[in-house]
Chains A and B, each alone.
Chain A
């Protein structure tokens, strides 16, 4: 029903505002082809996307934004070997951001499906907690592509050098996870695993609430935030098991996250960014003998990064990140402490063309990843990119978990405006 109302607004908005208001219809189409480079060498991945968006300005204060999105991805069948007839994630047509915005000089209110991005740092988006994510979007996806819009009342009041924001969502959603085989193979080998998904809550069944206070003082951007929400990532309860198969029930519990983010320009041309994010009561699964159990743990994520200025067309980004659970029984499905460092080097070829190379090192379990991309805008509306992403390391490292997602890719994106 909600989808129908939004679709109707997409179609009717231009006629409602007649000729006097301003309507723009624009969109993009992305085609991405890849070839996997590890055990799935013979597999060719495809990930195509399209978005059609409309923005209608009724008055200088009132705007309506509608977006329709389409996605075609072969990732699930590529990774799991599911026959084409049983593919579940082959093609999807869904609503993107769809909201009504009212703004005055001192405040803004947006109501509807939208994205909200918190935090200052890049590399590992620990503070980007509000929207669920599409985990199929890998390293080179645009940040916005990986966020799944959720229905929110988003109110922001502007202070002299900052703002105070309140969020309320009566309809939490869950992240779209990678096929479970990516993670479970190392723990359960060839055992057949069946997962029963948890249904997403209906309108007003669950309520996510949060707030953020942001201030820029003495050249420092600071923000303090809190969000109480249904965990976007699942944990599992064992419902039945045989010698060759196990059945799991997916669950999401309520968690509370508090965070602080800072950004500061140093020595005029360097930019230091940091996020410290603390999450209470997150369930993590662990294996004890033949049982699958879960433990409630508190998670602390910390990240600090430094952007360098451009020198001889080269610029760099350095990141150090720590993710720590306060409880971690033997057999837990992640390390108690995960330490990462990232170094990214960008070469400005000129005319908006660039080449970047990024290396991530996971300290505790000796995991590695390397990503490279050549970005080449062809003209005002077409953008071409070619690159690769590779994951390797000790079998128990979190980065080597993604080994079979290593690939080289080719992508073409077209931006267009219809009206």
Chain B
């Protein structure tokens, strides 16, 4: 009886996922086998504005319903500044990323402190999950297979870190063949150990393109431990170079 209930619950939970996949709008499907790195580039543009200067907001809800809000100034793939605005006790924390260097500023310490990319930002979210999200820049992609789920086809890609400085050693990435929408990713450490999984959803029209505005990151072994990232307020914006100077963090 217990296993029957579990099965029923699983079926109920999985229904919206398939329904969402069915709801994806049609677009020109690729007719030839594409370069894996090109697929990843196109999928990156379905998760953000790509490598153009812009700002956005990220609201992170952890499994205990605690909410954290960050405002991100993204100059290009090599320079971004994340400013925490909620909760009140964490307000004023800033995270600056330049190339593969990352600094944290807290009002308590009052000076920028060099930290590592793997350091957790909150819950299941690493610094790199917000500050360095263009996979095409950091990973070499290989097309493993094309998988069919229902009527939809998905590229199954394996992304390998171009160097040891990136957030993850390897990513298994599932991208819709129809419109390059990223569906899910599994992240591995450099040692090969699986770390966490991410699901991309809530595709909305952002700056004229349908993009994912929600990412749910869960621990690989304990799926109940999860963080939900909602991306909003994307705006094209020009920033002064000095905004991304670590010595400006204290001002």
- Answer yes or no: A163 CB below 8 A from chain B CBs: yes
Indicate if the CB atoms of A350 and B89 lie closer than 8 Å: no
Indicate if the CB atoms of B248 and A115 lie closer than 8 Å: no
Indicate if the CB atoms of A381 and B89 lie closer than 8 Å: yes
Indicate if the CB atoms of B115 and A101 lie closer than 8 Å: no
Indicate if the CB atoms of A351 and B66 lie closer than 8 Å: yes
- Answer yes or no: A2 CB below 8 A from chain B CBs: no
- CB neighbours (8 Å) of A101 from chain B are 251
- Answer yes or no: A383 CB below 8 A from chain B CBs: yes
Indicate if the CB atoms of A105 and B242 lie closer than 8 Å: yes
- Stretch in B3-11, B39-47, B102-110 with 4+ CB within 8 Å of A: B102-110
- Stretch in A77-85, A154-162, A183-191, A288-296 with 4+ CB within 8 Å of B: A154-162
Size of the chain A interface, CB-CB below 8 angstroms: 53
A219-250 vs B, Cβ < 8 Å mask (1 yes, 0 no): 10100000000000000000000000000000
* Residue among A144, A350, A417 with max Cβ neighbours from chain B (10 Å): A350
- CB neighbours (8 Å) of B245 from chain A are 158, 161-163
- Answer yes or no: B164 CB below 8 A from chain A CBs: yes
| With contact pairs A221-B246, A269-B116, A377-B89 given, residues A144 and B164 touching in the complex (Cβ less than 8 Å) | no
| With contact pairs A265-B116, A380-B89, A381-B89 given, residues A162 and B247 touching in the complex (Cβ less than 8 Å) | yes
- CB neighbours (8 Å) of A380 from chain B are 66-67, 86-89
In the bound complex, CA of A6 to CA of B118 (Å):
43
Q: Min CB distance, B105 to chain A, in Å?
A: 10
Indicate if the CB atoms of B110 and A144 lie closer than 8 Å: yes
- Answer yes or no: B122 CB below 8 A from chain A CBs: yes
Of A117, A143, A263, A309, which contacts B114 at CB under 8 A?
A: A263
B219-246 vs A, Cβ < 8 Å mask (1 yes, 0 no): 0000001000000000000001110011
| With contact pairs A158-B248, A161-B245 given, residues A268 and B109 touching in the complex (Cβ less than 8 Å) | no
- Answer yes or no: B64 CB below 8 A from chain A CBs: yes
- Answer yes or no: B119 CB below 8 A from chain A CBs: yes
Indicate if the CB atoms of A265 and B114 lie closer than 8 Å: yes
In the bound complex, CA of A120 to CA of B108 (Å):
15
Of B64, B100, B108, B246, which contacts A351 at CB under 8 A?
A: B64
Residue of A nearest to B67 (CB): A380
Residue of B nearest to A212 (CB): B247
Q: Min CB distance, A268 to chain B, in Å?
A: 5
| With contact pairs A352-B122, A381-B89 given, residues A117 and B110 touching in the complex (Cβ less than 8 Å) | yes
Indicate if the CB atoms of B247 and A158 lie closer than 8 Å: yes
- CB neighbours (8 Å) of A115 from chain B are 110
Q: Min CB distance, B25 to chain A, in Å?
A: 38
In the bound complex, CA of A383 to CA of B89 (Å):
8
- CB neighbours (8 Å) of B62 from chain A are 351
- CB neighbours (8 Å) of B246 from chain A are 216, 221
- Answer yes or no: B165 CB below 8 A from chain A CBs: yes
- Answer yes or no: B22 CB below 8 A from chain A CBs: no
- CB neighbours (8 Å) of B91 from chain A are 26, 415
In the bound complex, CA of A172 to CA of B242 (Å):
31
- Answer yes or no: B21 CB below 8 A from chain A CBs: no
- Answer yes or no: B162 CB below 8 A from chain A CBs: no
Indicate if the CB atoms of B88 and A271 lie closer than 8 Å: no
- Answer yes or no: A379 CB below 8 A from chain B CBs: yes
Of B66, B107, B114, B118, which contacts A310 at CB under 8 A?
A: B118
Indicate if the CB atoms of A158 and B242 lie closer than 8 Å: yes
In the bound complex, CA of A380 to CA of B60 (Å):
13
- CB neighbours (8 Å) of B153 from chain A are none
Residues facing B in A306-321 (CB within 8 A) are: 307, 309-310
* Residue among B64, B118, B250 with max Cβ neighbours from chain A (10 Å): B250
Q: Min CB distance, A137 to chain B, in Å?
A: 12
- CB neighbours (8 Å) of A351 from chain B are 62, 64, 66, 123
Indicate if the CB atoms of A144 and B108 lie closer than 8 Å: yes
- Answer yes or no: A358 CB below 8 A from chain B CBs: no
- CB neighbours (8 Å) of A106 from chain B are 242
Q: Which residues of A contact B (CB under 8 A)?
A: 26, 101, 103, 105-106, 108, 110, 115-120, 142-144, 147, 156, 158, 160-163, 165, 214, 216, 219, 221, 263-265, 268-271, 273, 307, 309-310, 348, 350-352, 377, 379-383, 413, 415-417
A-B contacts, 9 listed (Cβ < 8 Å): A103-B251, A108-B248, A115-B110, A143-B109, A161-B245, A271-B115, A309-B119, A348-B120, A380-B86
Q: Which residues of B contact A (CB under 8 A)?
A: 62, 64, 66-67, 86-89, 91, 98, 100-101, 107-111, 113-120, 122-123, 164-165, 225, 240-242, 245-248, 250-251
8 smallest A-B Cβ distances: which pairs? A380-B87, A163-B247, A117-B111, A415-B89, A105-B240, A415-B88, A158-B242, A142-B108
